[in-house]
Amino acid sequence: MLLLALAACQREPTPSSPSATAASATPRASQPVQGNAFAVQITLSPAAHDRLASQRESLIVSADYFGYPSAQAQAQRVPGSENPWLTLHRAQMELDGAQLEGTATARFPAVALDTKQLAWTDAPEAPQVNINVYSGRRSSPDNLLDCGMFQDTLAVAARAPIRVSCALIGENSR
């Protein structure tokens, strides 16, 4: 959650901004990441499934693609490099919770990450992805679910389906 909150504060460079011009002049080059599609399998506890179905609630699966800023990016004060990571791409999928029978899969297609942005990261060949799952907040202003999360390289995410388990908030503390 902290990752999402801090990433929301980050400014993205525009094509006419000085930082975008500086990024295009960077000596580091990288190739777009290929074959980075991945799947997220979500397993709901029976109580979570029943609650989502009865309240016609959905699931949101969020993917934040990022890299840690390089020393060069920090030295040149690239926008966002003051944060612990540089946001490269964001995607999310919404699944109908009422149709889930305990397990659902969200399939994220391959994305072409901007080589200029990747060049400002400390590992342009190994961008990271952070996956979070939460309720769609259709029936309540608050998230109803306590779900695991995933964070690793895109290469690791693409190897096999990412498994995330969800229960109702407070369900496991009884």
CA separation for the pair 129, 151 (Å, rounded): 6
User: 97-132 burial by CB neighbour count: b if 16+ within 10 A, else e?
Assistant: beebeeebebebeebebebbbbbbbeebebbbbbbb
Element (DSSP H or E) covering residue 157:
helix 154-159
Which whole-number Å values give the CA distances from 140 to 49, 53, 170, in the listed order? Answer: 16, 14, 16
The backbone region for 73, taken as left when phi is positive above 0, alpha when psi lies in -120 to 50, beta otherwise, is alpha
Task: Return all residues near 42 (Cβ < 8 A) that are at least 6 apart.
Answer: 59, 61, 95, 100, 103, 104, 105, 106, 133, 147, 164, 165, 166
Residues of the chain with pLDDT under 50: 1-33
Specify the pLDDT at position 96.
81
Q: Where are the domains of the chain?
A: 34-173
Using the structure block, give the residue that is written with the tokens 């002049």: 25
Report pLDDT for 9.
34
Pair of tokens at residue 7: 């990433």
Q: What is the pLDDT of residue 98?
A: 59
pLDDT of residue 20: 33
Please tell me the predicted confidence (pLDDT) of residue 81.
86
Nearest-angstrom CA–CA distance, 53 and 111:
32
2-31 residue pLDDT tens: 333 333 333 333 333 333 333 333 333 334
Nearest to 61 by CA among 80, 42, 43: 42
Q: Check residue 41 and give its pLDDT.
A: 95
Query: Regarding the domain delimited by 34-173, which CATH topology (the fold level of the hierarchy) does it fall under?
Result: Immunoglobulin-like (2.60.40)
pLDDT in tens, 78-98: 888 888 999 999 999 999 865
